Amino acid sequence: MTPGPDTDLIVVGAGPAGVAAVVMACGLHLSTILVEATAVGSKLSAIGAVNNVPGAWTTGPELVAALERDITRHQHTGRLTLLTARARSVTGHPTHAELTLHDGRTLTARDIVVATGTTALTPTDTDWITTPQPIPPLPPLWRATPADLTNRTTVVLGADRPLGTWLRAHPDTPARLDVLHPPADAYKTTEVQDDPRVRLVPVTRAVVEPLAEGRVRVTAGDRSGSVYERADGVVVTNLGSAPAALEGLHRGPDGYCPPDRQHPRVHVVGDLKGARMQRISVAMGDGSRGALNAYYRDHAG
């Protein structure tokens, strides 16, 4: 007799979408394995303001603590196993799905929910920033603390939405942010354009070059010929994100993973699905829906 799968459901990723999927699955009495490479809510822990999330959470660490309590609660029921491991690939089959880990192990379940989210883009991932020589890693804005940016000019490469989040999280920080952004990012700047700490600098090209002691020089310009240059202060990235897709997932032209292109037993949820709906509360609802879809596959009348 062919053995059955290891569990009812595997959830990959313990961010907002993944934990929401776990809570839904365990509430439906599905035996669940949660696979997380680092820690529950690891990216959330560096987000200073989450004022658009239901539940009166005001900071990322507060929400992380709540997600951790959810995990512990369901571990105590015996329905949830938390596995610290890095996932590599996913494969769907007619009766089950397989998750292969980087250490070579393979886990099986009736269904798999993939909630691996996104990774931050770097200057070399863009078409408007050039790095003629290797540069030191530049920190993302969303990881910066008030002490990192207080009373100094910071060059922000890109106008992605974490800019607004950071400013709301630290309303009294006397920062000065020169935000260099291409025309494609202009629609994202509306929420920050009236903040006196922000100087918006539309550019069509930028060059980032290494200097001594880990510093960099940023030179930029636009079609009119105006030039921006800075070789002091702090430089951080705010360039958007790219999907952290596992091998075996089908990608669209933009690199994201449309749900309708995946195997029926593989459910992609949250930020992994597309760029336009990347909000914590949206990811939570989508994670719950992914687990519910998996449940109805085998339990609907």
Position 297 scores a pLDDT of 82
Position 4 scores a pLDDT of 78
Question: Does domain 7-120+241-299 match CATH 3.50.50.60?
Answer: yes
For the stretch 200-225, pLDDT in tens is 999 999 999 999 888 899 999 988 88
Q: Do domains 7-120+241-299 and 123-237 have the same CATH topology?
A: yes
Position 1 scores a pLDDT of 44
Position 213 scores a pLDDT of 84
Position 2 scores a pLDDT of 55
CB 93 within 8 A of CB 271: no
Task: State how beta strands 227-230 and 129-130 pair.
Answer: unpaired
Topology adopted by domain 123-237: FAD/NAD(P)-binding domain (3.50.50)
Position 300 scores a pLDDT of 67
Position 259 scores a pLDDT of 94
For the chain, the domains span 7-120+241-299, 123-237
Q: pTM of the prediction?
A: 0.85
Position 115 scores a pLDDT of 97
Low-confidence ranges of the chain (pLDDT < 70): 1-3, 300-301
